[in-house]
């Protein structure tokens, strides 16, 4: 039944791709290239450490481990696969791996073919990735499979009566490195007990690495200098409606906004909502940027460095599919604000509990919180300190995982 579902899903993706859907077409074409890439670029005399990430977020969680392995054992070969175009297209030229490619759909034939061509000595799946046919093939070949930064919840299919056959693949994982105690408890219910270690989330190590390596951005620094600045990252239209309405009415606050979708139409929509002077990052200069009140970041890859210039951070997505990367902002010791769809995110829940992060559910909530932070900077500073301390205290997962797997 599982494999039948995968065949149906693959068929639907191909049908959508045939009608011009950009991401579906990229996925289909990318998976088609994978076999040729493996045949042409895999060293037949080598064994590869295979890392798999669904998309960009999971890659960032696995990245500290990849780069630690590359640094300490440059002779080891590394294969990195993605399922999503949003991950592959951004990181296809990543120098930390010897080969980066798409992972084909999890059919029995594709799984057997991929493993045969890829020559993995081990597989490391990041967070939510549990592809049953791939895991079965690896298990039958005696190739160890590790799950890194994984997290489980009671509602997942593995823990339902109808998901027992799917749960079998979890019992074939060599070792789980999970984020919390609840995951340990849930896995024990299905007989997975002796191969589970609570290590936390490697994302904390990654954001600390990013902070250390963050490049200076003179243009943003010039814009922020001497002002209270709200940095809003990965925003969606419901976030933007709340943010822009407030900023329009508060001349004592400047805004740097980095929307999740950077398209011509969306950028124009944002600009149409702003009544103060705004400029796009690509069009600003160091000489002129200080004359504007709103800086619109119209390119990718800058947000993790931009948060350092904020007095307050807003992480988008909470009024839609779910919040984006909260630790990426919190690592700079700034107070973080998020929307209500945050219950699935462990770090957000912990930061809400310790005061480093605040939740809003409406424009009125946002106004009350920002009014307080602007009137009482000490309140914002205290929340920011809690955010930064939380990240520092939860670092170290990479070391634990690395030493367990590689010695």
Query: What is the CATH T-level fold of the domain 2-209+396-406, as seen in this structure?
Result: Rossmann fold (3.40.50)
Decide whether 2-209+396-406 matches 215-393 in CATH topology. yes
Q: At what angle do helices 377-393 and 203-213 cross, to 10 degrees?
A: 120
The CA distance from 296 to 235, in Å, is: 11
- Residue holding tokens 């559910």? 361
With contact defined as beta carbons under 8 Å apart, do 331 and 309 qualify?
A: no
pLDDT at position 300 is: 87
With contact defined as beta carbons under 8 Å apart, do 99 and 41 qualify?
A: yes
DSSP letter string, 103-167 = PPP--HHHHHHHHHHH-EEEEEEETT---HHHHHHHHHTT--EEEEEE---TTSGGGSGGGHHHH
DSSP letter string, 248-315 = HT-TTEEEEEEES---HHHHHHHHHH--S-EEEGGG--TTTGGG-SEEE--SSS-HHHHGGG-SEEEE
pLDDT at position 407 is: 86
pLDDT digits (tens, 9 = 90+) for 272-329: 999 999 999 999 999 999 999 999 999 988 999 999 999 999 999 999 989 999 999 9
pLDDT at position 346 is: 85
Cut 0.85: pTM above it: no
CATH of domain 215-393: 3.40.50.2000
Tokens in use for 181? 């105690």
pLDDT at position 348 is: 95
With contact defined as beta carbons under 8 Å apart, do 336 and 356 qualify?
A: yes
Burial class (CB in 10 A: 0-12, 13-18, 19+), 56: middle
Tokens in use for 263? 């398209």
Report domain extents, the chain.
Answer: 2-209+396-406, 215-393
The CA distance from 338 to 315, in Å, is: 5
The CA distance from 320 to 365, in Å, is: 17
For the chain, residues with pLDDT lower than 70 are: none
pLDDT at position 301 is: 84
The CA distance from 118 to 294, in Å, is: 48
């Amino acid at each position: 039944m599982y494999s039948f579902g995968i065949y149906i899903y693959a068929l639907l993706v191909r049908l959508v791709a045939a009608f011009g859907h950009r991401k579906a077409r990229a996925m289909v074409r990318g998976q088609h290239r994978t076999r040729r890439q493996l045949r042409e670029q895999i060293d037949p005399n080598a064994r590869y450490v295979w890392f798999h990430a669904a998309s960009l977020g999971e890659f960032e969680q696995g990245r500290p481990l990849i780069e630690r392995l590359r640094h300490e054992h440059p002779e080891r070969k590394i294969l990195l696969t993605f399922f999503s175009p949003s991950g592959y297209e951004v990181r296809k030229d990543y120098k930390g791996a010897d080969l980066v490619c798409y992972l084909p759909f999890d059919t029995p034939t594709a799984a057997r073919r991929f493993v045969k061509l890829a020559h993995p000595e081990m597989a490391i799946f990041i967070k939510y990735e549990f592809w049953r046919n791939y895991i079965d093939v690896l298990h039958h070949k005696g190739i160890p499979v590790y799950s890194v930064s994984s997290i489980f919840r009671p509602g997942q299919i593995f823990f339902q009566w109808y998901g027992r056959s799917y749960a079998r693949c979890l019992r074939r994982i060599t070792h789980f490195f999970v984020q919390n105690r609840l995951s340990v408890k849930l896995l024990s219910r299905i007989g997975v007990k002796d191969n589970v270690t609570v290590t936390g989330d490697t994302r904390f190590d990654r954001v600390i690495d990013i902070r250390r390596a963050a490049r200076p951005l003179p243009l943003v620094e010039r814009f922020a200098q001497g002002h209270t600045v709200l940095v809003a990252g990965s925003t969606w239209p419901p976030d933007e409606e709340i943010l822009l309405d407030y900023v329009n009415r508060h001349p004592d606050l400047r805004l740097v906004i980095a929307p999740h979708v950077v398209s011509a139409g969306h950028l124009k929509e944002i600009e149409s909502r702003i009544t103060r002077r705004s400029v796009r990052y690509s069009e600003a200069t160091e000489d002129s940027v200080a004359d504007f009140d709103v800086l619109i970041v119209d390119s990718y890859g800058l947000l993790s460095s931009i948060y350092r210039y904020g007095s307050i951070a807003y992480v988008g997505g909470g009024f839609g599919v779910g919040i984006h990367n909260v630790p990426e902002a919190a690592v700079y010791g700034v107070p973080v604000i998020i929307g209500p769809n945050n219950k699935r995110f462990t770090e957000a829940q912990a930061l809400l509990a310790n005061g480093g992060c605040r939740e809003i559910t409406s424009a009125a909530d946002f106004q009350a919180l920002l009014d307080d932070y602007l009137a009482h900077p000490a309140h914002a500073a205290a929340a920011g300190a809690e955010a930064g301390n939380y990240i520092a205290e939860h670092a170290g997962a990479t070391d634990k995982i690395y030493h367990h797997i590689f010695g």
